[in-house]
Chains A and B, each alone.
Chain A
């Protein structure tokens, strides 16, 4: 099995986000980037499949701050090859990323491509289905379990309400991973450091990006809540007492 896992770095939502002075983009000056959590699940799913049926896992990412750490962490978990797409990443939307990934991946004749089902900053759709179409492969997303047998993937897809559907997907295919069969494994930092010394990141040129198919943003802003919560102040004891009152008033207690 030749498995590719396209990943990307996204703003850490735990940190405060701000808009740049132009008013149409996020301010990247102090922004901390982390690996898209669904991509973390895609990496885990790829490594689980490799452990079960054998093969090679290549993790591939467009250049971004701290992306090397994410790639080396993937290597420490069991990924075989690391590829970084370098160059001018300014107009890198989902459409441009899918085209750039397709150009690199196509020649490698993949059997399976696993990527996070979505990222919170996707403005022009998700990379998975765009990439699948570029490679003339089938796509299915919201996948939370994958089995491989005889050039066929059996996957579980999530629907609203906790319902699952089991699908048969002909390989080669692109799967949008919501959750891996098992939670992403923990890897000690010493192992990541070891990977930094032994693993190599191959660099490929992104080339001229083609962002067509995306949208132009003219303004970004923080949402104005119609009705923001009434905030309860005070120490834990005071707040707890007030909450009990609220619960009594509303008939919960």
Chain B
């Protein structure tokens, strides 16, 4: 047993994902409590250069061609060996499309407790964010080695950056007979608007009742010289293409203005809009978590407001 904290770092197509730095920052706080070290674990191929700015005492690198791209099967096998070797106090994984694929398997395989959606640590307690950001749950970090999946919001990525830590090359276990294999990547469809580059986004969510109403939203976006984006439910309904999706598996955006209409602001969505200069949210639910990230909020039916807003913009255009 050690008091060290392992951070399972995440990268995609040669770029370190922000959640990696958030986890390193969280691990630092936890290590201060336990008196242990922060060890960053890096799986990949020729990927060691990515670890240059990790805030960690050491990097454990598993570097081989078969680890170039993420595979849950291979990742499980490597992390199983790493955790058995290190016997850390905690293992932090991203509550992401990558980390969530392996955390449960590790918990069941190694018989280790797992806490998910953890936003921060309070002393040696976990604080997690559940129910779409409406409820926080706190409790003691379980077991001797706890597995944790982390959401953003509790730590600043800057605090996870530091000086070049020493890299220890570790030998990966055999990776034959993998039952899940990547064939190829499919890049997001080109040709459509790149919402990550728009300076104004009019974003719609579950509050939009009808696909035909998108015309009204398009008109409003045009009046504001912006583009239309959406949260998950509308993309899943097929009303808008994935290229317009703002959120965890869509895009992170940073417009001058993000106008959120009928979007509740679940963490998967909110985490992707915090780079916006100005967030205005309109929702009928006064307790919607979107009001925790917005600068201005309006509790109102979005349709009612859109009509008045369009009129006001029209008057403004005439006056100018």
Interface residues of A (CB under 8 A from B): 11, 13-14, 16-17, 19, 26, 37, 41, 94-95, 98, 117-118, 120-130, 132-134, 138-142, 154, 156-170, 173, 176, 178-179, 182-183, 212-223, 225-226, 228-232, 236-237, 239-241, 243-244, 246-248, 250-253
Produce 1/0 per residue, B174-201, CB < 8 A to A: 0000011111111110000000000110
Q: List 25 A-B contacts (CB under 8 A).
A: A17-B135, A124-B114, A125-B104, A129-B103, A129-B108, A130-B105, A132-B105, A141-B72, A160-B97, A160-B249, A162-B250, A167-B181, A168-B181, A169-B181, A173-B179, A218-B139, A223-B129, A223-B136, A229-B293, A229-B294, A231-B291, A239-B300, A246-B280, A248-B316, A251-B256
In whole angstroms, what is the CA distance A140 to B180 when docked? 8
Contact residue among B131, B137, B243, B285 (Cβ-Cβ distance under 8 Å from A219): B137
Set of chain B residues within 8 Å of A163, measured between Cβ atoms: 12-13, 185-188
Minimum distance in angstroms from A241 CB to a CB of chain B: 5
In whole angstroms, what is the CA distance A228 to B185 when docked? 40
Set of chain A residues within 8 Å of B149, measured between Cβ atoms: 125
Set of chain B residues within 8 Å of A226, measured between Cβ atoms: 292
B107 touches A125 (CB 8 A): yes
In whole angstroms, what is the CA distance A125 to B250 when docked? 22
In whole angstroms, what is the CA distance A141 to B103 when docked? 11
In whole angstroms, what is the CA distance A104 to B200 when docked? 52
A123 touches B105 (CB 8 A): no
Set of chain B residues within 8 Å of A120, measured between Cβ atoms: 130-132, 266
Set of chain A residues within 8 Å of B134, measured between Cβ atoms: 13, 17, 222-223
Instruction: Give the residue name and chain of the B residue nearest to A230 (CB).
Output: B296
Set of chain B residues within 8 Å of A118, measured between Cβ atoms: 100
Instruction: Give the residue name and chain of the A residue nearest to B312 (CB).
Output: A240
Set of chain A residues within 8 Å of B140, measured between Cβ atoms: 216, 218
B100 touches A126 (CB 8 A): yes
Contact residue among B12, B102, B309 (Cβ-Cβ distance under 8 Å from A160): B12
A240 touches B100 (CB 8 A): no
Chain A CB within 8 A of B162 CB: no
In whole angstroms, what is the CA distance A170 to B300 when docked? 49
Set of chain B residues within 8 Å of A222, measured between Cβ atoms: 134-136
Set of chain B residues within 8 Å of A130, measured between Cβ atoms: 104-105, 107-108
Number of A-B contacts (CB under 8 A): 290
Number of interface residues of B (CB under 8 A): 103
Q: Given A159-B97, A160-B17, does the pair A252, B257 have CB atoms closer than 8 Å?
A: yes
Set of chain B residues within 8 Å of A215, measured between Cβ atoms: 113-115, 126, 139, 142, 146
In whole angstroms, what is the CA distance A231 to B125 when docked? 33
Minimum distance in angstroms from A242 CB to a CB of chain B: 8
Residue with the highest number of chain A CB atoms closer than 10 Å, among B102, B147, B257: B257
Which of B25-33, B55-63, B234-242 is near enough to bind chain A?
Answer: B234-242
Set of chain A residues within 8 Å of B142, measured between Cβ atoms: 214-216
- 6 tightest A-B CB contacts, nearest first: A129-B104, A229-B297, A133-B108, A162-B188, A240-B308, A138-B179
Interface residues of B in 291-320 (CB under 8 A from A): 291-300, 304-305, 307-309, 311-313, 316
Produce 1/0 per residue, B85-128, CB < 8 A to A: 00000000000111011111101110111111100000001101
Interface residues of B (CB under 8 A from A): 12-13, 17, 69-73, 96-98, 100-105, 107-109, 111-117, 125-126, 128-140, 142, 146-147, 149, 179-188, 199-200, 224, 233, 235-238, 242-243, 245, 248-252, 256-257, 264, 266, 277-281, 285, 287, 289, 291-300, 304-305, 307-309, 311-313, 316
Main secondary structure of the interface of B (DSSP, over half): mixed
Set of chain A residues within 8 Å of B109, measured between Cβ atoms: 133
Set of chain B residues within 8 Å of A154, measured between Cβ atoms: 183
Minimum distance in angstroms from A132 CB to a CB of chain B: 6
B180 touches A169 (CB 8 A): yes
Instruction: Give the residue name and chain of the B residue nearest to A16 (CB).
Output: B287
Set of chain B residues within 8 Å of A124, measured between Cβ atoms: 107, 113-116
In whole angstroms, what is the CA distance A169 to B180 when docked? 5
Minimum distance in angstroms from B84 CB to a CB of chain A: 16
Residue with the highest number of chain B CB atoms closer than 10 Å, among A14, A226, A231: A231
Residue with the highest number of chain B CB atoms closer than 10 Å, among A117, A212, A231, A236: A236
Instruction: Give the residue name and chain of the A residue nearest to B315 (CB).
Output: A244
Q: Given A13-B132, A124-B116, does the pair A170, B236 have CB atoms closer than 8 Å?
A: no
Contact residue among A125, A214, A221, A228 (Cβ-Cβ distance under 8 Å from B136): A221
A219 touches B179 (CB 8 A): no
A142 touches B249 (CB 8 A): yes
Q: Given A158-B249, A163-B186, does the pair A126, B257 have CB atoms closer than 8 Å?
A: no
Minimum distance in angstroms from B68 CB to a CB of chain A: 12
In whole angstroms, what is the CA distance A217 to B127 when docked? 9
In whole angstroms, what is the CA distance A198 to B13 when docked? 52
In whole angstroms, what is the CA distance A218 to B305 when docked? 42
Minimum distance in angstroms from A251 CB to a CB of chain B: 7
Set of chain B residues within 8 Å of A26, measured between Cβ atoms: 131, 135
Set of chain B residues within 8 Å of A250, measured between Cβ atoms: 256-257, 277-278
Set of chain A residues within 8 Å of B111, measured between Cβ atoms: 213
A236 touches B308 (CB 8 A): yes
